[in-house]
């Protein structure tokens, strides 16, 4: 009987429950899409990186103390003599040297192909053990010949016989394209561009003459890769290591998987937000459905249905809504995963192609999340339905009696206190898992605001409605009264919009604070007039030859051109990034102010800022145990302590120490200071002319650097806001759902209003006013909470350089106006339905 009743109720309320299911669809789609995207890309990259293991068994490379360094050149070159030793190892069937490094192809428009996205690689053209198969032409054999990958050839239109410029160690040089090759079996490159040179040219441009980036070997029959790796590792010098090709592929795939894991977590966060927002709609919908069916439920009780059976009936409806919504969300998630791949391609990161991977765990998690959230949201309305007394079937007044808000106030206050403590602990970094603490604290704060909002929903909506009443009279008064009539319903409807708006306001405050802090840091710490960098980024955004600095120094009107880069070093076993350069030369461009010690940094010496020195208990002359990227340990001396300087960073490492332990002599940035009195525009024009042969380099003045920083923050804000708009869409559905159900609940009342002379247009306006008040109420709550969250996050990040609080009032005001527009749009359909009611039937409704 319960099953039949549940199915009939689902069929009887298709539209209302369908809107609720749509909220489940949108939330679970993000969860499913992220899981499908993650599984698909993981499989694609595993296949891509494992392709090399078909032709290679062992790789020899420079030993590293830790993965990566900011200068982009962290692997020690392998001398040709090591190749001879590897070839002499028993069990090696074949071995060759590999050569890789930076080499950017210049497009027909004079710009670097690929821009600032995936890397631009140069390789030595192999004769065997190759994963590169020629498509047309031949491999490069002369010093001015190259072959390019098929994806780049298709993108640029280059083909065999064309003249192409390539930037490697120095200025762009012309080469003839003699061949086009395919990378691996799939031919996809993930957005990476490839330029292949003959071996001697590749060594000169990418590594150093007579050296290789690494050595690969193929095992003889009967010798396992692990066994061969052990044999090779026993003969190569200690600064090199031999690992199996599978391990090398796993390490490379692991780096990509870590990045994709961060992206998946980022996207899943918005899925969780969507589900959380949708739960308010589900709760509200079932609460109103139960309230409107009080008499029906009482009749069930009167004819013998138990409380348990009534509860199961309502929960059965929730199960049906959750199940159907989750299944639809899974299908929508597959489309979202395809869209994410297209988005990556649009940004130049062509991911390896493979079919969509919908793992059983993805199906289970999607269904579990959607169904569980729906059942939990419907549980309390179901309990209230079960408590309906049978005598209610005899009354005309079937409204659910109002309950005290005292329990809500106590619970909401408790949630606020606990949530605030968790937030403060997580933002201070004192707990074991700061991210979990911040997330849990934010969740409790949102629940607290949602629980407490009925306490002030009536007075706030009365205040918000007062101007409308003055301007639009009776219809506005009725709309305002409807919003105030049921503060629980108003607050529950507004809560969905409140969450989305709170998160958008938080991001807006944080973005504005970041921009203001960057402006302050640049104004106070960057004394350079110009900056030259690969890709235009301030930081480890690329590397180039230090000869560029010498060329810029010779430009008329230039006082100094100081090269710098970044490197990773361990201090007390903790990896940190250090700025590398001559501290004395950087003092001017960075505006360094020494507090103790000197600017000279000799071998195994480092300078630190005051905050870092205080945290470590260091002073000028202190020593600390350190380790460099090549694995060498050293006792590193603190040569000096300088005042906190955001542009210089926390550590300054001398050039001599860097040259001794980090391969290559590349730089990532050159800071240019013009002569006093020199015309900035004239100097810039001369600098542009000097850099004409380096299309991979970008020249910026201080205003350009500020604008780029603002643009980067703006892009991040736009991306996050676009994702959060999903929660706003769900909130709009909630308002539509609430208004639609409210119209049905007030059918007789609407009929009476029409009977006493209210026109259809006036009725539509009344419902619009109610919707606008609910939307603005939710937006105000959200903005207030968001400003609080933004302030808390900014204070927590003050030590990381975000030390200026900025509240974008105009932007938040625009969001509030947009919320009012949301209210207007959400009311369109419910208002039209109300206006089309038959007056006599409406009056006769019980």
Does one domain contain both 668 and 563?
yes
Q: Check whether 673 has a pLDDT greater than 70.
A: yes
Does one domain contain both 71 and 194?
yes
- Model confidence band, residue 168 (pLDDT cutoffs 50, 70, 90): confident
pLDDT of residue 49: 62
Query: What is the average pLDDT across 512-536?
Result: 81
Q: What string of DSSP letters covers 699-730?
A: EEEHHHHHHHHHHHHHHHHHHHHHHHHHHHHH
| Element of type H or E holding 451 | helix 434-472
- Model confidence band, residue 292 (pLDDT cutoffs 50, 70, 90): low
% of residues, the chain, pLDDT over 70: 86
Report the C-alpha gap between 833 and 736 in whole angstroms: 12
pLDDT of residue 73: 47
Domain with 364 in it: 1-55+245-401
Three-state helix/strand/coil letters over 209-241: CCEECEEEEEECCCCCHHHHHHHHHHHCCCCEE
Q: Which of 312-326, 591-605, 735-749 has the lowest mean pLDDT?
A: 735-749
- Model confidence band, residue 74 (pLDDT cutoffs 50, 70, 90): low
Residue 408 lies in a domain: no
pLDDT of residue 295: 67
Helix axes 245-292, 702-745, angle to 10 degrees: 30
Last residue of a domain, one of 627, 662, 695: 695
- Model confidence band, residue 723 (pLDDT cutoffs 50, 70, 90): confident
- Model confidence band, residue 536 (pLDDT cutoffs 50, 70, 90): very low
Taking the model in full, what pTM does it have?
A: 0.76
pLDDT of residue 602: 86
Does one domain contain both 498 and 390?
no
Q: Which of 353-367, 434-448, 677-691 has the lowest mean pLDDT?
A: 434-448
pLDDT of residue 624: 93
Query: Which residue shows structure tokens 């966060």?
Result: 269
Residue 413 lies in a domain: no
Q: In what order do the strands lie in the sheet with 92-98?
A: 92-98, 214-219, 58-62, 240-244
The helix/strand/coil state of 129 is coil
Residue 508 lies in a domain: yes
Residue 415 lies in a domain: no
pLDDT of residue 689: 92
Q: Which of 32-46, 229-243, 482-496 has the lowest mean pLDDT?
A: 32-46
DSSP class of 393:
G
pLDDT of residue 629: 81
| Element of type H or E holding 745 | helix 702-745
pLDDT of residue 538: 35
Q: Check whether 200 has a pLDDT greater than 50.
A: yes
Query: What is the average pLDDT across 627-642?
Result: 89
Does one domain contain both 125 and 150?
yes
Report the C-alpha gap between 366 and 601 in whole angstroms: 56
Does one domain contain both 519 and 556?
no
pLDDT in tens, 118-131: 678 899 998 666 67
Residue 409 lies in a domain: no
Report the C-alpha gap between 196 and 198 in whole angstroms: 7
Report the C-alpha gap between 9 and 5 in whole angstroms: 6
Query: Which residue shows structure tokens 């402006």?
Result: 519
Does one domain contain both 684 and 599?
yes
Higher-confidence residue: 15 or 301? Answer: 301
Does one domain contain both 268 and 175?
no
pLDDT in tens, 578-587: 999 999 999 8
Q: What string of DSSP letters covers 190-211?
A: TT-EEEEE-HHHHHHHHS-TTE
Does one domain contain both 44 and 157?
no
pLDDT of residue 432: 59
CB atoms near residue 400 (< 10 Å) = 19
pLDDT of residue 398: 47
Query: Which residue shows structure tokens 């990040």?
Result: 797
pLDDT in tens, 227-271: 998 999 899 988 888 888 888 777 766 666 676 677 777 777 777
Asked whether 669 and 565 are in contact (CB, 8 A), the reply is yes
Does one domain contain both 342 and 454?
no
pLDDT in tens, 759-802: 888 888 898 998 999 999 989 989 998 898 888 888 877 777 78
Q: Token pair of 453, please? A: 């909002």
DSSP bridge pairs for 174: 165
Q: Check whether 613 has a pLDDT greater than 90.
A: yes
Query: What is the average pLDDT across 436-445?
Result: 78
pLDDT of residue 145: 95
Most confident of 173-177, 306-310, 357-361, 497-501: 173-177
- Model confidence band, residue 807 (pLDDT cutoffs 50, 70, 90): very high
362: left (phi over 0), alpha (psi -120 to 50) or beta: alpha
Query: What is the average pLDDT across 293-322?
Result: 76
Report the C-alpha gap between 106 and 177 in whole angstroms: 13
Residue 656 lies in a domain: yes
**Strand-pair category, 120-124 with 100-102:** antiparallel
Q: Check whether 69 has a pLDDT greater than 60.
A: no
Report the C-alpha gap between 237 and 235 in whole angstroms: 7
Q: Token pair of 689, please? A: 């002319």
Report the C-alpha gap between 157 and 678 in whole angstroms: 44
Asked whether 496 and 731 are in contact (CB, 8 A), the reply is yes
Residue 220 lies in a domain: yes
Last residue of a domain, one of 244, 265, 293: 244
Does one domain contain both 71 and 18?
no
**Strand-pair category, 173-183 with 132-137:** antiparallel
**Strand-pair category, 633-642 with 605-609:** parallel
Report the C-alpha gap between 279 and 730 in whole angstroms: 10
Residue 72 lies in a domain: yes
The helix/strand/coil state of 605 is strand
Q: Check whether 449 has a pLDDT greater than 90.
A: no
Most confident of 157-161, 275-279, 385-389: 157-161
Last residue of a domain, one of 244, 260, 295: 244
Q: Check whether 431 has a pLDDT greater than 60.
A: no
Q: What is the mean pLDDT of the chain?
A: 82
In terms of Cβ atoms closer than 10 Å to its own Cβ (0-12, 13-18, 19+), residue 402 is exposed
Does one domain contain both 51 and 63?
no
- Model confidence band, residue 72 (pLDDT cutoffs 50, 70, 90): very low
Does one domain contain both 566 and 506?
no
Domain count within the chain:
4
pLDDT of residue 530: 92
């Amino acid at each position: 009987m319960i099953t039949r009743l549940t199915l009939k109720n689902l069929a009887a309320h298709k539209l209302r429950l369908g809107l609720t299911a749509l909220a489940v669809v949108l939330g679970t789609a993000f969860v499913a899409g992220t899981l499908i995207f993650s599984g698909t890309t993981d499989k694609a990259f595993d296949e891509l990186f494992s392709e090399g293991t078909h032709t290679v068994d062992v790789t020899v490379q420079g030993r590293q103390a830790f993965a990566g360094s900011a200068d982009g050149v962290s692997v020690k070159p392998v001398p040709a003599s090591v190749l001879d030793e590897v070839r002499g190892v028993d069990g090696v069937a074949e071995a060759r040297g590999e050569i890789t490094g930076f080499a950017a192809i210049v497009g027909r428009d004079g710009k670097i192909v690929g821009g600032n996205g995936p890397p631009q690689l140069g390789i030595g053209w192999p004769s065997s053990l190759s994963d590169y198969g020629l498509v047309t032409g031949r491999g490069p054999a002369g010093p001015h010949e190259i072959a390019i990958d098929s994806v780049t050839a298709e993108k640029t239109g280059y083909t065999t016989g064309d003249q192409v410029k390539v930037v490697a160690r120095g200025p762009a040089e012309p080469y003839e394209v003699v061949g086009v090759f395919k990378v691996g079996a799939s031919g996809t490159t993930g957005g990476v561009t490839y330029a292949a040179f003959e071996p001697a040219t590749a060594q000169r441009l990418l590594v150093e003459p007579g050296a290789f980036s690494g050595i690969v070997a193929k095992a003889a029959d009967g010798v396992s890769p692990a066994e061969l790796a052990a044999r090779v590792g026993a003969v190569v010098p200690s600064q090199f290591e031999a690992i199996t090709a599978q391990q090398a592929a796993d390490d490379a795939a692991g780096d990509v998987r870590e990045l994709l894991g961060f992206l998946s977590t980022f996207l899943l966060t918005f899925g969780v937000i969507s589900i959380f927002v949708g739960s308010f709609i589900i709760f509200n919908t079932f609460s109103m459905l139960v309230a409107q069916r009080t008499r029906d439920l009482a009749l069930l009780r009167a004819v013998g249905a138990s409380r348990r059976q009534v509860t199961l009936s309502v929960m059965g409806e929730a199960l049906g809504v959750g199940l159907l919504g989750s299944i639809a969300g899974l299908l929508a998630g597959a489309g979202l995963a395809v869209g994410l791949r297209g988005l990556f391609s649009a940004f130049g990161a062509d991911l390896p192609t493979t079919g969509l991977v919908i793992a059983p765990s993805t199906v289970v998690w999607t269904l579990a999340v959607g169904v569980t959230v729906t059942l939990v949201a419907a549980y309390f309305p179901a309990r209230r339905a079960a408590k309906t007394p049978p005598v209610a079937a005899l009354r005309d007044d079937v409204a659910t009696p109002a309950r005290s808000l005292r329990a809500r106030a106590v619970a909401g206050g408790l949630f606020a206190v606990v949530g605030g403590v968790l937030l403060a602990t997580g933002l201070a970094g004192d707990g074991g898992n700061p991210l979990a603490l911040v997330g849990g604290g934010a969740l409790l704060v949102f629940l607290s605001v949602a629980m407490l909002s009925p306490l002030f929903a009536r007075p706030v909506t009365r205040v918000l409605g007062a101007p409308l009443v003055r301007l639009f009279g009776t219809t506005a008064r009725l709309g305002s009264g409807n919003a105030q009539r049921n503060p629980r319903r108003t607050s529950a409807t507004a809560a969905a919009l409140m969450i989305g708006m709170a998160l958008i306001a938080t991001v807006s405050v944080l973005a504005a604070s970041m921009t203001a802090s960057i402006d302050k840091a640049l104004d106070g710490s960057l004394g350079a007039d110009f900056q030259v960098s690969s890709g235009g980024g301030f930081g480890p955004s690329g590397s180039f030859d230090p000869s560029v600095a010498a060329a810029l120094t010779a430009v008329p009107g230039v006082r100094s051109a100081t090269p710098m880069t970044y490197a990773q070093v361990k201090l007390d076993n903790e990896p940190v990034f250090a700025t590398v350069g001559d501290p004395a030369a950087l003092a001017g461009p960075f505006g360094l102010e020494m507090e103790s010690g000197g600017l000279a940094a000799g071998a195994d010496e480092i300078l630190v800022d005051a905050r870092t020195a205080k945290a470590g208990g260091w002073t000028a002359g202190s020593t600390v145990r350190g380790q460099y990227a090549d694995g060498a340990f050293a006792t590193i001396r603190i040569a000096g302590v300088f005042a906190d300087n955001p542009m210089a960073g926390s550590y300054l490492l001398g050039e001599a120490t860097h040259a001794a332990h980090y391969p290559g002599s590349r730089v990532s940035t050159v800071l240019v200071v013009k002569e006093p009195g020199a015309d900035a525009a004239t100097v810039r024009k001369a600098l542009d002319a000097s850099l004409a042969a380096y299309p991979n380099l970008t020249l910026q003045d201080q205003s350009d650097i500020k604008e780029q920083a603002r643009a980067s923050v703006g892009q991040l804000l736009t991306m996050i806001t676009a994702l959060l708009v999903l929660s706003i869409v769900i909130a709009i559905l909630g308002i539509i759902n609430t208004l639609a159900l409210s119209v049905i609940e007030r059918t007789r009342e609407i009929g009476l209003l029409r009977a006493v002379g209210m026109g259809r247009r006036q009725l539509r306006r009344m419902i619009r006013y109610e919707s606008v008040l609910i939307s603005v109420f939710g937006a105000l709550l959200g903005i207030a909470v968001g400003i609080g969250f933004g302030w808390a996050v900014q204070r927590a990040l003050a030590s990381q350089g975000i030390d200026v609080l900025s509240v974008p009032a105009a932007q938040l005001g625009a969001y509030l106006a947009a919320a009012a527009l949301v209210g207007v749009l959400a009311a369109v359909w419910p208002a039209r339905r109300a206006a089309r009611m038959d007056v006599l039937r409406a009056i006769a409704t019980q």
